[in-house]
A and B are shown apart, each in its own frame.
Chain A
Amino acid sequence: MTRPERRAVGRFLMALAGFSALLAALPRSGPLFARLFPQLDRPLYVQQPFLDLVLAHLWLVATASLLATVVGVAAGIFVTRPSGREFRRLVETLSAMGQTFPPVAVLALAVPMIGFGFWPAFLALALYGLLPICENTIAGLEGVPPAAREAGLGIGMTRRQLLRKVELPLAAPVILAGIRISVTIGIGTAALASTVGAVSLGSPMIVGLNGNNIGYVLQGALLVGGLAIVIDLGFEAILTRLRRWTA
């Protein structure tokens, strides 16, 4: 590992350790919240273990982002091939539309169609995460130096080999930056998923907002924020490794 890589990994591990400490401390922090908010009868959210909420939240974001990544990258590759060039406008418009819909609206529309729970939340997140990934895939592939492409073909790579060995690796940092944006937004947005009955870190926040319990809201928000930081630094570490060959 190079020095910047070690540093980036170090920052990620520190954030992870901090987040784990927070997660371990929170179930024991009843007395603290009781002192902070003396007006509350039950200052600590105990309906579900915080660890379960974190895992459910992560699972929701991870699966939705995986779908968004597969679809977004595939679409980005397709419209930058000679055979798919004419679909580029269409794909860009569609994914931009996915982004313009506020996630709440997608959730509200999805519920009557597929009911409450995990799936409407999954769908809203995946749709919402598509645009940055698709756009960055296109930008990344278009940023490949034309000379590298010409040389690759000229010395005997097939189009498929060129894509796999040259174009995708060169575009990877840009594509990953898109996935990072998408996931980071997703971690925040997934909190809203609890409004349609999915379990996430939004659950204590929604219960807290309904029952006027600021302690619950704070506990949910702390974990969402911490999680976002950990994931973001994780991406940063991978990106530093991917950019090793740049000036």
Chain B
Amino acid sequence: MIEFRNITKTFNAVTVIEGLNLIVERGEFCVLIGPSGSGKSTILRMINRLIEHSAGEIRFAGEPIRSFAPEVLRRRIGYAIQSVGLFPHWTVEANIATVPRLLGWDAARIEARIAELMALLGLDAARFRTAYPHQLSGGQQQRVGVARALAADPDVLLMDEPFGALDPITRDSLQAEMRRIHAETGKTIVFVTHDMDEALRLASRVVILDKGRIVQSATPRELLHAPANDFVREFLGKDDYGLKLLSVETAGAHMRREDSGAVAEAVREQDSLRLALSHMVALKTDRLGVEDSTGRRVGLLLLADIVT
């Protein structure tokens, strides 16, 4: 879907990105992570030509990005940023409708799309449709920001630390929404963060950057089990490394297919082992039932299965 071929970026003779090669496949949730100044935003903004690359070639949907007019390219690529950037003089619905209007959709189609997106992002249309951005909380604003980015059903969604300014509870629920939206829509997402827990939670692939170079590119599991070097190990953290390992394993993959009718409490198949462990500690128990997404019991999870 997106391909960087030997990309270099220099700002006033300072090289910020050097010889970058990266392919983001269709449907991937690719998370770029690295310390501040490692070039994450620069890489992201080169994709939609908010920043022009200095050398090499970037391809989007098989074509060099410079074969598109910038605004044509950008209308096919959603963009959401930490500071959100809603238009303060427009209502929520007008903000969401920005790109469809630019593309000249008819009114009925825009109406339907606004309703669909507000439902997708968990925004109460009756309350918020005609509200102005200053009337919304930070989390609600970012929901509108993401809805606006998705409005014209773009092929790719770019997100630059979108939840970085939110409180932990709001961030948590928006991360869950993003996982669900990715699963439901199958969109290709390139997501920038400096929060490793966020990366492990969301990514189908994590790309670790340092000083404008890729240090490691791997699935969350591969990353945790085989960090490429000390920089990555450092970045993964020491104190809660074990919990991070648990966070990329699901209850469904570790449960026993046994009847758990005798156990009162349960987690879901797709919940992480980290969550299951937390519940066990809180409930002072060494076993939990496991249910599928319809709530049917499918197995039993023991503390011993988590640790081994």
Q: What is the interface of chain A, defined by CB distance below 8 A to chain B?
A: 145-158, 161, 165-166, 169-170, 245-247
Residues on A with C-beta less than 8 A from B235 are: none
Q: Is B253 an interface residue (CB 8 A)?
A: no
A245 near B74 with CB under 8 A, answer no
B83 near A166 with CB under 8 A, answer no
A161 near B102 with CB under 8 A, answer yes
Which of A146, A153, A158, A246 is the most central at the interface, judged by chain B CB atoms within 10 Å of its CB? A153
Identify 16 residue pairs between A and B in the complex whose beta-carbon atoms are under 8 Å apart, listed by A's number.
Answer: A146-B83, A150-B81, A151-B81, A152-B87, A153-B50, A154-B48, A154-B74, A155-B75, A155-B148, A156-B74, A157-B71, A157-B102, A165-B87, A166-B87, A170-B88, A246-B134
From A148, A151, A245, contact of B79 by CB (8 A)? A151
Query: In the complex, A146→B86 CA distance in Å?
Result: 11
Closest 4 pairs (CB-CB, A-B):
A151-B85, A147-B85, A156-B75, A147-B83
Q: Is B99 an interface residue (CB 8 A)?
A: yes
Query: In the complex, A148→B133 CA distance in Å?
Result: 12
B71 near A169 with CB under 8 A, answer no
Residues on B with C-beta less than 8 A from A169 are: 89
Q: Give per-residue flags for B126-137: 1 if the beta carbon is below 8 A from chain A beta carbons, else 0.
A: 000000101000
A-B contact count (CB 8 A): 72
**A148-B87, A150-B85, A154-B79 given. 6 additional CB < 8 A pairs?**
A150-B81, A151-B148, A152-B85, A154-B50, A170-B87, A247-B134
Q: Which residue of A lies closest to B133 (CB)?
A: A245
Q: Give per-residue flags for B14-55: 1 if the beta carbon is below 8 A from chain A beta carbons, else 0.
A: 000000000000000000000000000000000010100000
Residues on B with C-beta less than 8 A from A161 are: 102
- Shortest beta-carbon distance from B78 to chain A in Å: 7
Q: Is B217 an interface residue (CB 8 A)?
A: no
Query: In the complex, A150→B74 CA distance in Å?
Result: 12
Residues on A with C-beta less than 8 A from B48 are: 154
Q: Is B84 an interface residue (CB 8 A)?
A: yes
Residues on A with C-beta less than 8 A from B273 are: none
Q: Which residue of A lies closest to B48 (CB)?
A: A154
- Shortest beta-carbon distance from A86 to chain B in Å: 18
Residues on B with C-beta less than 8 A from A152 are: 85, 87, 98
From A146, A150, A157, contact of B50 by CB (8 A)? A150
A154 near B81 with CB under 8 A, answer yes
- Shortest beta-carbon distance from B2 to chain A in Å: 16
Q: Is B189 an interface residue (CB 8 A)?
A: no
Residues on A with C-beta less than 8 A from B132 are: 245
